[in-house]
Structure 1
Amino acid sequence: MADNENADGALTGLDKAAILLLSLTEQDAASIIRHLEPKQVQRVGQAMTTMNDLSQERVAAVHSAFIEEIQQYTSIGMGSEDFVRNALVAALGEDKANNLVDQITSGGASRGLEALKWMDPRQVASIILNEHPQIQTIVLSYLEPEQSAEILTQFAERDALDLVMRIATLEEVQPAALKELNEIMEKQFAGQSGAQAAKIGGLKAAADIMNYMDKTMEAALMEQIEQNDEEMASQIQDLMFVFDNLADVDDRGIQAILRDVPQEALQKALKGAEEGLREKIFANMSSRAAEMLRDDLEAMGPIRVADVEGAQKEILSVARRLADSGEIMLGGGGADEFL
């Protein structure tokens, strides 16, 4: 008999809690334990350290009992589509979550557009190369920016330009169009009536894809976009590099930017900056200068949002100028970072 069993062979509630916590990763267990009272932590911790000689069958029984008990206290229902959908929406956002739920509830296999996400970019490019540009646009908007950027390198520069501009002006795709596209990509499509239009594409999608492009290709495309539509080029460029992206610039680059930025503009810009970026700026100043800037920020009264944004744009102009001259690199690696 296990040390943690009663005389009748049954596990106590404390023992069951210990088994559940031991079944989790250390991080997940810690996130639960931090919500307990000190005495509860001491008791469950002791139970966890003395737990031994439990069969897999008994552990599985504890898990099953936990699920059954949880079902009595939730209006959603463990394992139900509503529960899964709500959890995924919270984690991924509505559009991605809905696509994933539809895939799960229709059998779990990756099909149509979803199947393309698992393919090599060159393979995807060969599949869509001879399709209509509108189909190519939807596919590229639907896939992750990094994958789409690699796919675009397989196209002629003129065609890549056309596609980026199409992506920038795309806002949503109707269910019928998505269904037809899925049928083109793969013959098996599990469409559902009443589906909502998918919000894909747009200026941000174009900017995200441009972020992942080779710098030479990105510069060439941006120049051509500007020739065709100056306003679009400006909007895409603004989305590609926002003030908070300065946190991705290396220390040498930050120091170079600070040398060319007026102190007053820096104060106003940091008034609305993320804490991480503030600390990055302070770390690249002398201790005295950083302390004075901290004091100035604390003493600064309310400031108009327009003034903050104006100061941030002024600093971004300096950063772009230094990057264009090759003095600094605006580095990053994620979908929301500047390349």
Structure 2
Amino acid sequence: MQTGLVVGEDADHRALSGNEKAAVLLLALGPDHGRPIWEELDEMEIRQLSRSMVGLGPITQAMLDELLAEFVTIVSSNGALSGNTESTERLLMSFLPADRVEVIMEEIRGPAGRNMWEKLSNVQEDILANYLKNEYPQTIAVVLSKISTDHASRVLAVLPEELALDVVQRMLGLDPVQKEILEKIEATLRTEFMSTLSHTQRRDSHEQMAEIFNSFDRQTEARFMTSLEEASRDSAERIKELMFTFEDLTRLEASAIQTLLQAMDKKDTALALKGANDAAKEFFFGNMSARASKMLQDDMDAMGPVRLKDVDQAQGKMVSIAKDMAARGEIIITKGKGDEEMIA
């Protein structure tokens, strides 16, 4: 029997688990001879075998012969088997409806979860929000009402503000959704979103770690960064490039920093600048009116000595407010090198 699969002569011989043996056998039988077996399996068994088949990798001729002998089955094969996503999906498509195969493969490749709504709750909020923002507000309301509440809150937080408020109002007045409409939404999400999600690159781990470092207090950040520099200078430099710190606020345009200062509590601003370096103080004072600058300096002088922890918290609050305003489109944050030149 011709399997259409390629021999891996130099691959190592290895032991196979029970599920892997069954997967190899069914892959060797192919769609015609294997169909009667597949049709006798229940949904759970099909999923288990499909997962094993996807992860098989190369199966040598010797391994195949040994397996066939074990099953007391004589199969003439011109080559070894290679179980992967494509071959598994192709085989399933030969005897299962396309929508059923799609669900099985989606579970193997996509985010964890037993159903569509559990899967969506495992999708990064900015990725889900980026997809949903192009949908009707009523559709978004239905989707967010079906996923976990904590994840729905994070998705709402990164949606455009006007759209998010519209969605909130619709969620408050949402009636029970007809089964047919819900199934249509699920089908659309499965075909238009989840099917392409597996090809989306994972978030850069350095970017994620940079955000973690941003949340550290000054001493903790310095301690971890010093250790990281000793272990991997390249990783440390990459994280430094991605971090957005209080000092980076001095790279904001004048209009942006003025907008930020208007949104800040004056006490927090004074406390944040109390521990800033002279260049940062000069930058902030330079973007205030002479009267506002004088009042802020008086407030700082009246504070007397302050705890470094309090300064870190105030500076962190200013950074967080700036990032929130940028997410709402109120200001633009550019994280660039200090020596970059702008040419008019």
Q: TM-score range by the shorter chain?
A: 0.3 to 0.5
**Larger-gyration structure (1/2):** 2
TM-score, normalised to structure 1's length? 0.36
